[in-house]
Amino acid sequence: MVFLYETRYFYGCWHFYEVRYFYVAGFYGISKMIMRGRLSGVQRMRLGKLLDMLYKPSELAEEIGFSYRQVSRVYILLGCPFVQQNGFIFINGRAFADWYEMTYPRQTLKSDEVFCLTCRKAVKIISYDTKKVGRLSYLVCSCSVCGRKISRIIDKEKR
């Protein structure tokens, strides 16, 4: 895999903002991976609860669980669908959720890969140890690029 890095600067709301793109060249061609504005797993699950109605940026931020400034500093600059009425910005909840899923696609890993948070890419599992804590079994390995300790959940037994 080849990683290319690009930075673009935008002017908005009195300040310059930096948006970082990582272009990942893999088997399927070059894809753009945007790092700024990514949501956590809990926040991503809350996207499914958004209704097909217009939200103010502060209401959208409260529903999902991020700062309202993130809407104007990140999402609108990246092309989030919005409507401007009487000088106010409104965002459709369903349109935002669909746009987010297209802009920030989920990473799919093969069975022999883990995701390194330091390198921000999928790395192959070379040597690993299997551990079990309670009902949870997982494997622990180290990143072949940076040496960080990485874990991946294998199985969680039911009660």
pLDDT tens for 95-112 read 999 999 888 887 788 888
pTM exceeding the 0.85 threshold for the entire prediction: no
Same domain, 94 and 55: yes
Q: Which residues contact 20 (CB under 8 A, 6 or more apart)?
A: 5, 6, 7, 34, 35, 36
What is the total count of domains within the chain? 2
Boundary-marking domain end, from 103, 125, 140: 103
* d(C-alpha 142, C-alpha 127), whole Å: 8
Q: Is 148 part of any domain?
A: yes
Same domain, 139 and 97: no
Domain that holds residue 78: 2-103
Same domain, 136 and 70: no
Would you state the pLDDT for residue 32? Answer: 57
Same domain, 6 and 62: yes
Q: Is 108 part of any domain?
A: no
To which residue do tokens 């290319």 refer? 4
Same domain, 95 and 121: no
Same domain, 90 and 134: no
User: In this structure, what token pair is assigned to residue 49?
Assistant: 């609860």
Give just the sign of the alpha carbon dihedral 92, 81, 22, 24: positive
Q: Are 34 and 103 in contact (CB under 8 A)?
A: yes
Q: How many CB atoms lie within 10 A of CB 114?
A: 19
Same domain, 68 and 122: no
Each residue of 100-155: pLDDT tens digit?
Answer: 988 888 778 888 888 888 887 888 888 899 998 888 899 999 998 888 999 888 88
Q: Are 39 and 104 in contact (CB under 8 A)?
A: yes
